[in-house]
Amino acid sequence: MGSPLDRKVALVGFMGAGKSTLGAQAAQRIGREPVDVDELIAADYGGSVAELFAREGEPRFRELEEEWAVTLLEAPEPSVIALGGGAIESARTRDALRANATTVWLDVPVDEAWRRARGGDRPLAQDERRFRELHEHRRPLYEEAADFVARDLDDVVLAAAGVHVGIGALERLGRLVPGHGPIALVADATVSGIHGATAQLALGGRLKAVHELPSGEDAKTLAVCEGLWRELALGRDGTIVALGGGTTTDAAGFVAAGHMRGIDWVSVPTTLVGQVDAAIGGKTGVNLPAAKNQVGAFHWPIRTVIDPGLLSSLPTAERDNGLAEVVKTGLLAGEPLWELAEPEQVGRAAAYKASICLRDPREQGQRAELNLGHTFAHALEAASGYELPHGKAVALGLLAALRLSGLPTEVVERQLRPSPVRVDRERAWAALLRDKKAVGGVPRLVLLERPGSPRIGVEVSPEKVREALDALIAA
């Protein structure tokens, strides 16, 4: 199937589904060109689709629709394509969708579709009985073609990134992993005991091997990756499925990036921090003793499967880890995501990160905003020998970022309750200066003008940065 980054996003669905509107909105969110097939046909014809139907008939319209759809789907430029409701009836268009696009079905109830479409000039929405019959006829075609089903803008953005969110998704994992080749399941040792059997059963006959990684940051070492590379018996048609928290997906994704110079992988995060942050966007990597995530690669998973139902087994400490990333995302978005119910919280935060990563997949610009607070957090983690939980480190990092931004810190203090940690100050400072975002040994920070308005690459005097770091460390 290939990386979602290399595929068009094609919206299909019945009349009144909102393809044109959501297509334009999604294109803006993910930084792609919006294209509407009906609009192109009308512009090329020099009149409306209704006029084309009236003068030349539906068969002629379908010919033009197929030509435009296939041409756009086979074009090299990335885009978000809104297809007409009947485009799915063309076998040639369906083949082009399969080969070139992530196909997103905007599924709306027929009553809602009729309410939206009636009374207009749509040629096939003049008679309600015919409208309903046509809906019933096309529904199986949409269902067969769809890689994802969407009902709102966040759903479309997640689909564009190859992210499936849904309670019970782990039980459907075999149907959600693209392709037909062999699978190696790589799982956190603790998670394997809780969810491993469910995953193995769901993967069925494609599953060829199961590998366990150490829990936590112990998984993110070159030695662990080397051991996994030696064990893997997958060819280029194989897929690694990574089941676990952010450290598992980081390490397994890095192994997938290196194995035979890159094979497909699927991320299945089981922690809140993984579901809202770590498993999304294609960053993979391992730690070195002096710095976190110092060795890595950009290797986008062909699918990310997020099952918020798995969070019910999380210990409180792990939930707190993830909540720090939710608060970070809410500050960046300017929305109190931490107030939402957990499944919605996961979907909204994941969609925000997916949209940023799609616009900047290799962190050459806007994606750097996702590091809000992380320059300090990574320094504290390194100084603790990676004993400090990531969420506690991020909570402290957000505190420092808000202070340097001149903004109130109540949200972080109320939601995350950060407290100074006992680490070596000089070791933390040395780790901060080695941060990947530093330029010429001078830290570059992500700060906020206000919630919802981040600034990246902000140069702050070393004295102020050191003061902010020291305030996070217990005397």
Q: Residues 39-80: pLDDT tens digits?
A: 999 998 888 888 998 899 999 999 999 999 999 999 998 999
Residue reference for tokens 């494609």: 206
CATH of the domain at 299: 3.40.50.1970
Return mean pLDDT, the chain.
Answer: 94
* Same domain? 39 vs 171: no
pLDDT digits (tens, 9 = 90+) for 284-295: 999 988 777 889
Residues 135-144: pLDDT tens digits?
Answer: 999 999 999 9
Given 129, 160, 191, which residue is the final one in a domain?
Answer: 160
Indicate if 338 and 276 belong to the same structural domain: no
One domain, residues 304 and 320: no
Task: Verify that 414 and 455 share a domain, yes or no.
Answer: yes
Long-range contacts (CB closer than 8 Å, 24 or more residues apart) made by 432-437: 432/375, 432/376, 432/378, 432/379, 432/465, 432/469, 434/290, 434/291, 434/294, 435/291, 435/375, 435/378, 435/379, 436/293, 436/294, 437/368, 437/371, 437/375
The CATH code of the domain that includes 370 is: 1.20.1090.10
pTM above 0.85, yes or no: yes
pLDDT of residue 464: 95
Q: What is the predicted pLDDT for the residue at 313? A: 85
- What is the rounded average pLDDT of the residues 322-351? 96
The pLDDT score that the predictor gives to residue 289 is: 84
Domain boundary among 264, 287, 314: 314
| CATH, residue 105 | 3.40.50.300
Does residue 358 share a domain with residue 306? no
Same domain, 171 and 285: yes
pLDDT per position as a tens digit, 153-170: 999 999 999 999 999 999
What does the pLDDT average to over 324-351? Answer: 97
Are residues 162 and 192 in contact, defined by beta-carbon separation less than 8 angstroms?
no
- Which of 434 and 34 is assigned the larger pLDDT? 34
CA dihedral (8, 14, 15, 19) positive or negative = negative
The pLDDT, as a whole number, for residue 435 is 80
What confidence score (pLDDT) does residue 1 get? 66
Task: Please check whether residue 124 is in contact with residue 134, taking contact to mean a CB–CB distance below 8 angstroms.
Answer: yes
User: What would the two tokens of residue 297 be?
Assistant: 């690669």
For 5-27, the pLDDT digits (tens) are: 999 999 999 999 999 999 999 99
Q: Which of 314, 343, 370 is the last residue of a domain?
A: 314
Nearest alpha carbon to residue 205 among 165, 177, 235: 177
List the one residue out of 282, 352, 328, 270 whose CA is nearest residue 446.
328
Q: What tokens does 242 get?
A: 């990574």
> Does 236 share its domain with 304?
yes
Q: Do 310 and 382 fall within a single domain?
A: no
Question: What are the pLDDT digits (tens) for 445-469?
Answer: 999 999 999 999 999 999 999 999 9
CA pseudo-torsion sign 223, 229, 230, 231: positive
| pLDDT in the model for residue 475 | 83
**Average pLDDT, integer, range 312-331:** 92
Same domain for 112 and 232, yes or no, is no
Distance of alpha carbon 278 from alpha carbon 284, whole angstroms: 9
pLDDT greater than 80 at residue 2: no
Query: 308: which residues sit within 8 A by CB, 6+ positions away?
Result: 165, 166, 167, 275, 342, 343, 346, 347
Is 34 in the same domain as 135?
A: yes
Query: Domain check: are 156 and 28 in the same one?
Result: yes
Percent of residues, the chain, with pLDDT higher than 90? 88
Identify which of 5, 4, 63, 57 has the alpha carbon closest to the alpha carbon of residue 37: 63
Domain that holds residue 255: 164-314
- Tell me how many domains the chain contains: 3
* 364 & 406 share domain: yes
CA 171 to CA 429: how far, in whole Å?
45
β-pairing, 283-288 vs 291-298, is antiparallel
CA distance 263 to 240: 8
Closest by CA position to 83, among listed 117, 138, 37, 49: 37
